[in-house]
Amino acid sequence: DAKTTQPNSMESNEEEPVHLPCNHSTISGTDYIHWYRQLPSQGPEYVIHGLTSNVNNRMASLAIAEDRKSSTLILHRATLRDAAVYYCIRTGNTGKLIFGQGTTLQVKP
């Protein structure tokens, strides 16, 4: 049930891509990697998740390293509305979901 490791904060310019890294070096073979984000004064919302292959959805892309010890959330064109805290968590078969401190993303106009 180890937490993942993320940078405390990152900055991006509007309409540029953003790559948010996450380390999960002790991940087991059955753990999924989930990303959530939390806008100010709101509850967390689901962004994307994956197991081994890279994943794409309307919000973002998830690139998972071949050894699965790290992953990167990619926002293709950051907008001001993407400014939030982004959490990377690993979900195993114990059901226990532990959030880390997350990465605070600032988007500059």
DSSP 5: B
- From residue 17 to residue 36, the character string flagging contacts with another protein as x (rule: CB under 8 A) and all else as - is ---------------x-x-x
Q: Using DSSP, state whether 108 is helix, strand or coil.
A: strand
The span from the CA of 92 to the CA of 10, in Å, is 27
Give the burial string for 84-94 (b: 16+ CB within 10 Å, else e).
Answer: bbbbbbbbbee
Q: Is 43 in the site for another protein (CB under 8 A)?
A: yes
- From residue 66 to residue 95, the character string flagging contacts with another protein as x (rule: CB under 8 A) and all else as - is -------------------x-x---x---x
The span from the CA of 61 to the CA of 93, in Å, is 24
Nearer to another protein, 6 or 70 (CB): 6
Helix residue spans in the chain (DSSP H): none
> At closest approach, how far in Å is the CB of 49 from another protein?
7
> At closest approach, how far in Å is the CB of 16 from another protein?
26
- β-strand partners of 19: 74
User: 45, 69, 106, 108: which one contacts another protein (CB under 8 A)?
Assistant: 45
Binding site for another protein (CB under 8 A): 32, 34, 36, 42-46, 49, 85, 87, 91, 95-102
